[in-house]
Chain A
Amino acid sequence: MALIDPGRDGPIRVTVPGEGWASVVRNLFPEGVLEVIVGAGERASLPGRRSVQVRRDGNAFRVRPGPGMSAPERGSAAEEAGGPTIPDSPEGVRLDGAGEAVSVLERLIAETLLRDRSHHVGLHAAGALVHGVGVVALGASGAGKSSLALSLSRDGWPLLGDDVVLIDRQGGARPFPRLVKVDVERLAAHGIRPEETIAWVPGWSEAWLDPREGGGWCAGPCHVGLVAILDRIEGRPEAEVRSSEVGGAEALSELLAGALPGGLEGGDRVDALLGLLDGARGLRLSFVSSRDAARFLARECRSRAMAGKEGAGR
């Protein structure tokens, strides 16, 4: 199943220092996106190929973007998350931990894939198709996007993405399929141990899970019926999910703030997001448990789907 068109230049070649690395990195994206090579990395540096190299540097690792893989753009969601930036130089970046190196590698690949989507807006959001209703959930890093995506996936709903959702020119949401990355601390709430996940480096604070073990990925574009602005709060686990309506201008403002660099710009970007909002309901959601938030959204989507059917039947 080719879920991501890897772009005109074919799969991204990733050279890693050993088989252990290869087994983790191969799992980061769906089949066909990456070509993982174990070795010194000379093959990955062929001109005209997009490549990224991880090599040992004493007790640390060095991640170096190769041809066609420029450093992530400033102001990106990755920087917002506080991750290290990767200089556009042959030296790349030196990282002390293998987990950090995997995380940077994954980000670099994701941002390169996003640059291929020049006719889209990349939204820093989670999303899923629930009861046939497209849901896009916005929020700053730590607001609960990935946990919510994991909960929705485990409830059987196909995902649009856990951290990025693509919006086409008409406002339709398209999947950006990659594994769901969740803080190890959050896994316990889902009854999952990090070693049970598909990609995890011992000692690293994040693990990757495969949505295909739940609802998989959304097969194609979908109309968005619900835009949720997430606000995960601390509190008693049994605390209720609270919601309030969000007006069109406020929702548009949140969408624009959550749009990643690159892709459609200016009026095209605004029009795509206005297309997304056309007929969509905006909700601000405060929650403690992402599982409760997922179920709340499922109920909202079910009501919306039923209302749509009744409307169509009249």
Chain B
Amino acid sequence: MTRFRRLMVVTAVVVPVTITGIAVKLQAEPQAAATVAAGSSSSFAAINVADRAGVSATDTLPKRALELMKLDADTVRLVGSFPSVAKQPLRLYTARTLKGESCLVEDGIDGVTPDGRPLRVYGGACSRDLFRGRSVAWIRGTSREADGSERVRFVGLVSPETSRLSAVSASGARISVPLTDGRAFLWYPPASSAAQPVLLAHQGGGAAVERVTLP
């Protein structure tokens, strides 16, 4: 057998065997994933941000959120952890992307899937400047609850100059919206109100310096 023929024989055997091995390996992954599909939600890897100031050991952000938003892990800061009807609290973070954008990042169980499983929602919104000269950066969220109803809520962050946040009720009364030590908030506007939700940002102990009309 010539050298060329020996080379071709080896190629004809080795290449398909190698590719078959890769194909079998990759086919095996979907089968493993099918177990996930049939069962509960997939497991989450999380980064531990406990070594960063003011953050406890349980404060984690899903690695998937970091990858999805292309966040710089060193810039992740927990700014709010809010009680939730689910076992897991809704957490709000600030972070910067690898491109330098500022982000509000949230993670938590938020409603249910159409077949009734608790739905974890993670991600956020980024800009060069979250505030752009304003007092409040916010994200409006809706989710479907187990009884089929829709729940609306706002999460956000107030600027360093803002000391207090209040909401205006349908009757015109002002209701305090608590801020965390990280200047974050979670607010559920009254479901019964037909009026557009309004937040008021205050500086010091004084009157509102900005009126934020929300969608």
Partners in one complex: no
Residues of A within 8 A of B (CB): none
